[in-house]
Amino acid sequence: MEINLISDTVTKPSPEMLKAMFNAKVGDDVFKQDPTVNEFERIVADLFGMEAALFFPSGTMANQTAIKLNTNPGDQIICDKWSHIHLYESGGASANSGVNFNLLDGKRGMITADMVKEGINDPEFYHTPFSKMVGIENTTNKGGGACYELEELQKIKQVCVDNNLKYHLDGARLWNAMIAKKQHPKQFGALFDTISVCFSKGLGCPVGSVLLSDKETIKRALRIRKIFGGNMRQAGYLAAAGIYALQNNINRLEEDHNRAKELGKQLEQCSWVKIVEPIETNIIIFSPIESVSDTEIIDKLKQKGISISLMSKGKLRIVTHLDYRQIMHEYVLETLSKLTF
């Protein structure tokens, strides 16, 4: 039995999702003539209570488009030091948009309104960049799937309004946050200028993210997507997977969260584990004791048919997902309980 827990991006479409994809009506989306893509974008925009949406081949491209929409070259983005847009998008913000970051030292990848206010540059002091955008990641990847409280996001929004800052949400795993916190998409749509949401992680689609905003901004985003090479033709086959996922795969995310918490409890009982970070959603981050190396753990689990990933030195990551079934879960729990070094 091969069990891949390196990420929730490893899932494959279910037979039911493949059937929905196979039966999709398609056209040329570059001319906005793909009926399934058009319907998908409308559904997602309505779900969040936002005016318009645009389908992208990746979350990174959606985020990079939002940055280009919300900034000018030389501007500065305020975000947590662990943000995906800073760490894991190949320097795209500087390469594509010519911007830099003011990296805040948040908690588990989350920042506060007070921190944002403190991080804003004086617009009259011409030696520093203009502060133009605040970037939020929810859930936080490197923060172990941590979720923002809505109240704090509302406070940050007020800081943005008071200081004329754009407000972007990297919602790659926002679906997980909404299930964990019992929140509604419209609560986020009411706060942010731009939102990216991913369909190829917890929702189990093979490809795709969606960028949300007002109609005028999404009209501009269409041109930027073209510049980035993100236009697709008969993309309705992929959009059909997204529609299926919205209808069938959101509520089941709670199963992933429950299994992650059970894995965390088992790891806490292992003598070779020093600390397990708090678990809210589907990501488990843990650190081994000093006498056990990261590679030892990865290699031993690999020998048992279980793949996990290295988040950073001394931090290992396990991610539960749609294709991680109960029979696999029981095997992993048993393997962890018997693992020795």
Work out the number of other CB atoms within 10 angstroms of the CB of residue 115: 17
Residue 122 belongs to domain with CATH number: 3.40.640.10
At 15 the pLDDT is: 98
pLDDT score of 1 more than 90: no
Q: Once rounded to an integer, what is the mean pLDDT over residues 298-318?
A: 96
Tell whether 3 is covered by a domain.
no
Residue 316 C-alpha from the chain's centroid: 18
State the distance between the two ends of the chain, measured CA to CA, in whole angstroms: 23
Is the same domain home to 202 and 314? no
pLDDT score of 111 more than 90: yes
Q: Is 287 helix (H, G, I), strand (E, B) or coil?
A: strand
Handedness of CA 248, 321, 252, 327 (dihedral sign): positive
Write out pLDDT tens, residues 178-220. Answer: 999 999 999 999 999 999 999 999 999 999 999 999 999 999 9
CB 183 within 8 A of CB 154: no
Residues 6+ apart with CB under 8 A from 247: none
Q: How many CA atoms lie within 13 A of 140 on its CB side?
A: 26
Q: Which residues pair with 275 in a beta bridge?
A: 287
Write out pLDDT tens, residues 7-63. Answer: 999 999 999 999 999 999 999 999 999 999 999 999 999 999 999 999 999 999 999
Range of the domain at 164: 15-248
CB 341 within 8 A of CB 296: yes
Residue 317 belongs to domain with CATH number: 3.90.1150.10
Tell whether 8 is covered by a domain.
no
Q: Is 38 exposed, middle or buried (0-12, 13-18, 19+ CB in 10 A)?
A: middle
- The mean pLDDT of the chain is 97
Is the same domain home to 233 and 260? no
Q: How many domains does the chain have?
A: 2
Question: Cα separation of 111 and 167, whole Å?
Answer: 13
Task: Give, as one character, the DSSP assignment of residue 87.
Answer: H
Is the same domain home to 154 and 227? yes
Query: How far is residue 132 from each of residues 122, 123, 159, 191, 310, measured CA to CA in Å?
Result: 11, 10, 12, 16, 34
Is the same domain home to 188 and 238? yes
Tell whether 7 is covered by a domain.
no
Tell whether 2 is covered by a domain.
no
Is the same domain home to 147 and 275? no
Enter the tokens of residue 76: 């500065």
Is the same domain home to 168 and 307? no
Is the same domain home to 94 and 204? yes
Is the same domain home to 19 and 142? yes
Question: Cα separation of 38 and 333, whole Å?
Answer: 43
Q: Which of 217, 248, 279 is the last residue of a domain?
A: 248
Q: Which of 191, 221, 248 is the last residue of a domain?
A: 248
Handedness of CA 103, 105, 111, 112 (dihedral sign): negative
Write out pLDDT tens, residues 120-164. Answer: 999 999 999 999 999 999 999 999 999 999 999 999 999 999 999
Is the same domain home to 82 and 100? yes
Is the same domain home to 81 and 185? yes
Q: Which of 248, 281, 309 is the last residue of a domain?
A: 248
Amino acid (1-letter code) at residue 296? E
Tell whether 152 is covered by a domain.
yes
Helix ranges, the chain (H): 15-22, 35-48, 59-70, 84-87, 92-97, 113-119, 150-162, 174-181, 185-189, 215-227, 236-248, 253-268, 294-303, 326-338
Question: Cα separation of 92 and 82, whole Å?
Answer: 15
Helices 59-70, 215-227: axis angle to 10 degrees equals 120
Tell whether 112 is covered by a domain.
yes
Is the same domain home to 199 and 259? no
CB 284 within 8 A of CB 317: yes
Query: How far is residue 257 from each of residues 86, 157, 202, measured CA to CA in Å?
Result: 26, 28, 11
Single out the residue of 252, 247, 170, 179 nearest to residue 210, CA to CA: 170
CB 127 within 8 A of CB 137: no
At 27 the pLDDT is: 98
Is the same domain home to 259 and 294? yes
Tell whether 113 is covered by a domain.
yes
**Beta strands 194-198 and 3-4, pairing class:** unpaired
Tell whether 6 is covered by a domain.
no
